[in-house]
Amino acid sequence: MVWTIEANKLTRRFGEKVAVDQLDLQIRPGEIYGFLGPNGAGKSTTIRMLCGILAPTSGGGCVGGFDIVQESESIKTVIGYMSQHFGLYHDLTVEENIDFYTGLYLKKRSEIFRERERVIQEIELKPYRKYLAKHLSGGWKQKLALASAISHRPKILFLDEPTAGIDPVSRRTLWDILYKLAQSGMTLFITTHYMEEAERCNRIGFIWNGRLVASDAPGRIKSTVMRESLFSIQGEPMERCFDLLKSSSHVIDVNFYGDELHVVMPPGFDGMDLLKEELKEKGIEQISIRQISPSIEDVFVSLSRQSS
């Protein structure tokens, strides 16, 4: 297999801080790879190294067939990069912003015009093409940033939190476009803090303190990674039930989920009947307990617990 993105023991230090720690990655052509991790985990630093913008301290990698250290300039011809704070020109219109970015790669006016029309079509920006960027809502701004990042037809697209702060409908629209790009053969490397977006990726990687602690398809991550057992518990009054569970020595974690409590217990925990009796004795009524499968968010929190 020829990987589109590959990292081998990729490491970056900032003084004493190891921001990315011996990261190994292998990503296939046309894959949507989601990169998850808490703030400061090393996601953006990884992207900056893979884009050839930041030199690794040690280790290396290849992107689009180019070495990230020796051929960092060539990498820029095959990738698009929508950074966490993508630089749109607010006093330029949608068309002018796209022309600016296309003009960095193409010189002929006719080619710039042709690519602009293609990208406006592809990213469905037509209704706002004459608007100044500063007058666009958050969702449309992100669409324009995406259009600008792909105006030179990259094979690989890095997206650093492209949907941060935009509403669910705009996010869904943006994801529809991302799927179309992937179906056309583009490889997507995307960071997000939205767990439901992680489910949309072909594979996801969890990075924690610079280390990749899991990497697999979302379904497999959910069924294999979380060692603890997860239960949904209902009981009245709910706040008291929460307090009792929180203070129980068996309980690892407990959280409110609508009218249920999600309770994390040790791996293979089989003392639920006893726990139920205990709750009953302490005045909790209408108790219902069932074991549930973890969501990506549960796995994320569990990995964070295991890794800290």
CB of 41 to ligand ATP, least distance (A): 4
Among 11, 44, 102, 173, binds Mg ion (CB under 5 A): 44
Segment contacting Mg ion by CB under 5 A, of 38-46, 235-243, 264-272, 297-305: 38-46
CB burial of 278-287 (b: ≥16 within 10 Å; e: otherwise) equals ebeeeebeee
Is residue 41 at the binding interface for ligand ATP, with CB under 6 A as the rule?
A: yes
CB 60 within 8 A of CB 25: no
Asked if residue 31 lies in contact with residue 202, where contact means CB atoms within 8 angstroms, the answer is: yes
Only segment of 32-40, 224-232, 247-255, 267-275 that touches ligand ATP (CB under 6 A) = 32-40
CA distances from 20 to 41, 61, 85, 161, 189 (A): 8, 13, 20, 18, 16
Binding map of ligand ATP across residues 50-89, x = CB under 6 A, - = no contact:
----------------------------------x-----
% helix, strand, coil for the chain, step of 5:
40, 30, 35
The span of 12-20, 67-75, 129-137, 233-241 binding ligand ATP (CB under 6 A) equals 12-20
DSSP-derived secondary structure letter, 189? E
Residue 14 binds to ligand ATP (criterion: CB under 6 A): yes
CA angle centred on 288, ends 221 and 278, rounded to 5°: 105
Which of the choices Mg ion, ligand ATP, none does residue 121 contact, using the CB cut-off of 5 to 8 A by kind? none
Q: Say which entry of ligand ATP, Mg ion, none residue 257 contacts (CB below 5 to 8 A, set by partner kind).
A: none
Tell me the sheet residues that pair with 66: 63
Residue 170 as a binder of Mg ion (CB under 5 A): the answer is: no
Q: At what angle do helices 94-103 and 138-149 cross, to 10 degrees?
A: 20
Judged by CB under 5 A, does residue 46 bind Mg ion? Answer: no
126 is an interface residue for ligand ATP by CB under 6 A: no
The DSSP bridge partners found for residue 156 are 79, 187
Min CB(180)–Mg ion separation in Å = 25
- CA atoms of 137 and 141, how far apart (whole Å): 6
Q: Does 192 bind ligand ATP (CB under 6 A)?
A: no
What are the residues binding Mg ion (CB under 5 A)? 43-44
Residues found near ligand ATP in the complex (CB under 6 A): 14, 17, 19, 37, 39-45, 84
